[in-house]
């Protein structure tokens, strides 16, 4: 049983919309008057759910409302949600940048946040001076920084410039130096916002790798906010989903990410059509689903397993060569590949009226980890005609089981690329 290191109880945060200025003093006086008479704050009652898209009537919104959760020692918790769901507000309260309106946070360890690297860098000071300043701002003592100075400088790769004012640095060097300081922080709880993921590819890799070291290797508790579902899936054991300032779901990362994507895209690994929008007078689609080799529908697949996509459709007109087709996209919207029905038993047949089912098998070790979005189409080729096409029909997740991944071997870091094929490698010793 691991101990609870962080406990958040009934946490709420209210914000005032619009300009602070006119009306501020009257609200302040009103609030004060209520307090003098021993009454409740009149503006605490009128807050609305924080939905940025709909226009509300109140000047006050709840950026967070009744947040309750606990974090265990060594847990890596992902916090996901749409823009404006309250993720950053939560992190800001955790890192004591702003206070909650109600509720409390209890902690058993030092919290350090990487809301933004390079906070407090002074352009006139040298790299070395800035390491000390930045380290102290982040909560390190001079002795701690002294002990790690060489490591920090080495990690940053800025040795040559270390005694030059930071204003002469390139922006990339500034970020490197700043991250190096942050990377050698040793708090009990580390709070990381996704802003960390800006910078060039090399830096991102370094940052994510370091985060993995921190969480996996050193057993540190990490709270990680990101829009990058792949990173959340890879790094976090558990996650919470925020929506309009409230916790929608808290549980295993895979479940939360799946739930989030389903609610976000409105899709899951199965889709059925019952309405009139399901095709034309030639063919109508009934359903499409993703499943494993035993035809059991799943939302999450291992990279090492075979995935089947089955589509069911009705041939309405008859005597037409109707073929199925699929498009595969990753979470960045990149078209990984398209595939059209071929070499099936019914391929050359002019199909009679009736219901048909077609399955395509994606071999194992092809798709990379992350979210896969599948588009479906019903076509005839001669003449070419599209009877039905939907770009985002179903969605499923690819998971790379790091501890047993043939494509990774012993490598656990970031492995980019839109596909992840298992290739044949050869190595021999040619000379002693």
Partner 1 sequence: MKDNIIDTDDWLFEITPKNKLLSLNLKEVWQYRDLLMLFVKRDVVTVYKQTILGPLWYLIQPLFTSVIFTLIFNNVANISTGSVPPFLFNLAGITIWNYFKECLTATSNTFTSNAGIFGKVYFPRIIMPFSIVISNLLKFGIQLFIFIAFFIYYYVNGASISLNKFTFLFPFMVLIMGMLGLGLGMIISSMVTKYRDLKILIGFGMQLLMYISAVMYPVSFFVEKLPKYAWIVEYNPLSFVIETVRFMLLNTGKFNISMFIYAISITVIILISGIVIFNRAEKNFIDTV
Nearest to 138 by CA among 162, 154, 114: 114
Nearest to 300 by CA among 239, 266, 258, 333: 258
Q: Which residue, 139 or 308, is less far from partner 1 as judged by CB?
A: 139
Q: Least distance to partner 1 from the beta carbon of 142, Å?
A: 4
Q: Least distance to partner 1 from the beta carbon of 83, Å?
A: 18
Mention every residue, 6+ apart, whose C-beta is less than 8 A from residue 179: 117, 156, 196, 199, 203, 206, 207, 210
105 binds partner 1 (CB under 8 A): yes
First to last CA, the chain: 52
Q: Least distance to partner 1 from the beta carbon of 213, Å?
A: 22
Nearest to 401 by CA among 354, 430, 369, 355: 369
Does residue 174 have a cis peptide bond before it, meaning omega lies within 30 degrees of 0? no
Choose one: 99-107, 156-164, 407-415, 422-430; the region binding partner 1 (CB under 8 A).
99-107
103 binds partner 1 (CB under 8 A): yes
The one among 65, 81, 101, 341 contacting partner 1 by CB under 8 A: 101
93 binds partner 1 (CB under 8 A): yes
68 binds partner 1 (CB under 8 A): no
Q: Least distance to partner 1 from the beta carbon of 266, Å?
A: 34
Q: Which residue, 40 or 345, is less far from partner 1 as judged by CB?
A: 40
The one among 86, 100, 199, 375 contacting partner 1 by CB under 8 A: 100
Length of the chain counted residue by residue: 432
Token duo for residue 254: 């895979």
Q: Which residue, 30 or 331, is less far from partner 1 as judged by CB?
A: 30
Interacting positions 106-145 with partner 1 (CB under 8 A): 106-110, 113, 115-116, 119-120, 122, 124-125, 129, 132-133, 136-139, 141-142
Mention every residue, 6+ apart, whose C-beta is less than 8 A from residue 178: 117, 118, 119, 121, 134
Distance of CA 141 to the CA centre of its chain: 33
> Pairing state of beta strands 221-225 and 76-80?
parallel
Q: Which residue, 99 or 383, is less far from partner 1 as judged by CB?
A: 99
Q: What's phi and psi for 259, nearest 5 deg?
A: -60, -40
d(CA 30, CA 25) in angstroms, rounded, equals 8
Build a one-symbol-per-residue string for 1-30: x at contacts with partner 1 by CB under 8 A, - elsewhere: x-xx--x-------xx---xx--xx--x--
Instruction: Please return the burial class of 3, using the count of CB atoms within 10 Å of its CB with bins 0-12, 13-18 and 19+.
Output: exposed
74 binds partner 1 (CB under 8 A): no
d(CA 202, CA 95) in angstroms, rounded, equals 28
99 binds partner 1 (CB under 8 A): yes
Assess contact for 222 and 207: CB atoms under 8 A. Answer: no
Q: Least distance to partner 1 from the beta carbon of 45, Å?
A: 16
Q: Which residue, 166 or 374, is less far from partner 1 as judged by CB?
A: 166
- If binding means CB under 8 A, how many residues of this protein chain bind partner 1? 47
Q: Which residue, 136 or 197, is less far from partner 1 as judged by CB?
A: 136
Q: Which residue, 146 or 401, is less far from partner 1 as judged by CB?
A: 146
Binding site for partner 1 (CB under 8 A): 1, 3-4, 7, 15-16, 20-21, 24-25, 28, 92-110, 113, 115-116, 119-120, 122, 124-125, 129, 132-133, 136-139, 141-142
């Amino acid at each position: 049983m691991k101990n609870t290191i962080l406990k958040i109880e009934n946490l709420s945060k209210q914000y005032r919309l619009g300009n602070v200025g006119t009306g501020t003093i009257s609200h302040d006086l009103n609030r004060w008057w209520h307090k003098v008479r021993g009454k409740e704050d009149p503006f605490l009652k009128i807050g609305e759910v924080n939905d940025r898209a709909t226009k509300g009537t109140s000047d006050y919104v709840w950026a967070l409302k009744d947040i309750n959760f606990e974090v265990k020692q060594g847990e890596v918790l992902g916090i996901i949600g749409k823009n404006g769901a309250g993720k950053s507000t939560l992190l800001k309260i955790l890192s004591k940048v702003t206070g909650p309106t109600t509720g409390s946070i209890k902690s058993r360890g030092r919290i350090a946040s990487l809301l933004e690297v390079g906070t407090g860098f002074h352009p006139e000071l040298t790299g070395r001076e800035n390491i000390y300043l930045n380290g102290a701002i982040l909560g390190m003592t001079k002795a701690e920084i002294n002990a790690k100075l060489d490591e920090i400088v080495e990690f940053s790769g800025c040795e040559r410039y270390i005694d030059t004012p930071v204003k002469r640095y390139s922006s990339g060097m500034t970020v490197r130096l700043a991250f190096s300081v942050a990377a050698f922080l040793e708090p009990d709880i580390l709070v990381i916002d996704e802003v960390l993921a800006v910078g060039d590819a090399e830096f991102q890799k370094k940052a994510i790798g370091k985060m993995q070291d921190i969480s996996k290797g050193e057993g540190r508790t990490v709270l990680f906010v990101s829009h990058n579902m792949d990173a959340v899936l890879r790094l976090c054991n558990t996650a919470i989903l925020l929506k309009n300032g409230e916790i929608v779901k808290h549980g295993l990362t895979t479940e939360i990410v799946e739930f989030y994507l389903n609610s976000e895209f409105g899709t899951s690994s199965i889709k059925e059509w019952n309405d009139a929008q399901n095709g034309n007078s030639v063919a109508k689609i009934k359903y499409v689903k993703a499943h494993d080799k035993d035809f059991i529908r799943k939302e999450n697949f291992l990279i090492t397993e075979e995935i089947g996509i089955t589509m069911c459709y009705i041939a309405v007109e008859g005597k037409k060569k109707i073929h199925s087709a699929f498009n595969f996209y990753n979470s960045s919207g990149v078209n990984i590949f398209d595939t059209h029905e071929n070499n099936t038993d019914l391929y050359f047949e002019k199909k009679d009226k009736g219901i048909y089912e077609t399955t395509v098998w994606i071999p194992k070790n092809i798709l990379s980890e992350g979210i896969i979005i599948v588009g479906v189409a019903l076509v005839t080729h001669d003449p070419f005609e599209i009877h039905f096409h939907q770009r985002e029909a179903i969605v499923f997740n690819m998971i790379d089981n790091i501890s047993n991944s043939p494509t990774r071997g012993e490598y656990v870091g970031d492995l980019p690329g839109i596909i992840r094929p298992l290739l044949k490698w050869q190595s021999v010793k040619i000379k002693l």
